[in-house]
Amino acid sequence: MINKKSSSYIDEIKKALEELGGTASLAEISAKIEQNGSLVYMQTNPNWKDNVRATIQRHCSSTRSYRGADDIFYSVYGLGEGYWGLNSFKEKLQAADIQPIEQRQINTIMLNDTLTETERETLILARVGQGNFRDKILKKYRKCIITGISDNRLLIASHIKPWRSADNIERISSENGILLSPLYDKLFDKGLITFSKNGTIIVSKSLSSCDVNIINIDVNHIYLKEMSYELRRNMQYHNDMIFIK
């Protein structure tokens, strides 16, 4: 039931994000607004969810839609994936071990009666590149695909399509991971590098030429050879949604 007293889009988005712990997907924000029932436009405008997205973008300084309005929201993982947060929560959440978004996903896994306890544990450990997922990636690559480092203590099993955006099969698939040393894992995770369909590195234009030279990135070398269809598909997701062009 819609309340007689209606709030603005801004008020309802802020309220929804506050109730969701400060960060959420666009779908979660819209669902929470619908549940709260205070936005009168839900009855009069069938495209109200599009207006929710547009309102967030107009009040987020990292988007192209921003024109100097109050900077209220931020993109949690980069603009591609559609996860948003309140700037007023940002500092607190950046220090947290886990975002509310992923905590809700973990809770969903824990409550999934179709999964065994072992399957639940495997999926949750995969979030941080551990457990069965890490074992698969170590077995497949054996060393950092860029540096050649082979000491397991210095290697990170990196998801290509992030855990938060993957389904349960993708979360533990060896075709959704690569083995990297910490520096390159960070660059890949932040969208500062990605890989082409030919297996070469593509460097973000937001990374300075000075840093590129210091890191010694070879953009001509083929690091990933004979990529499977599934790996290519996941890498394309990284290209489109995570990589900062």
What are the C-alpha distances in Å from 56 to residues 10, 24, 116, 132? 8, 12, 39, 38
pLDDT, tens only, 196-232: 999 999 999 999 999 999 998 899 999 999 999 999 9
CA atoms within 13 A on the CB side of 35: 12
- The predicted structure's pLDDT at residue 3: 45
Give the pLDDT band (50/70/90) at residue 54: very high
pLDDT, tens only, 85-97: 999 999 999 888 8
The segment(s) of the chain belonging to CATH 1.10.10 are 9-94
Query: Following DSSP, what letter does each residue of 1-47 receive, concatenated?
Result: ---SSPPPHHHHHHHHHHHTTTEEEHHHHHHHHHHHT--THHHH-TT
Beta bridge partners of 156: 180
Give the pLDDT band (50/70/90) at residue 2: very low
Mean pLDDT of 3-24: 86
pLDDT, tens only, 135-185: 999 999 999 999 999 999 999 999 999 999 999 999 999 999 999 999 999
Considering the four listed CATH numbers 1.10.760, 1.20.140, 1.10.10, 3.90.1690, the one that applies to the domain covering 9-94 is 1.10.10
* pLDDT over 50 (residue 129): yes
Query: Following DSSP, what letter does each residue of 201-229 receive, concatenated?
Result: EEE-TTS-HHHHHHHT--SSSB-S-S--H
- The predicted structure's pLDDT at residue 97: 85
Query: Following DSSP, what letter does each residue of 124-139 receive, concatenated?
Result: HHHTTT-HHHHHHHHH
pTM above 0.75, yes or no: yes
Give the pLDDT band (50/70/90) at residue 4: very low
Nearest to 200 by CA among 184, 218, 215: 218
pLDDT, tens only, 66-125: 999 999 999 999 888 999 999 999 999 988 889 999 999 999 999 999 999 999 999 999
- Top pLDDT among 147 and 41 is at 147
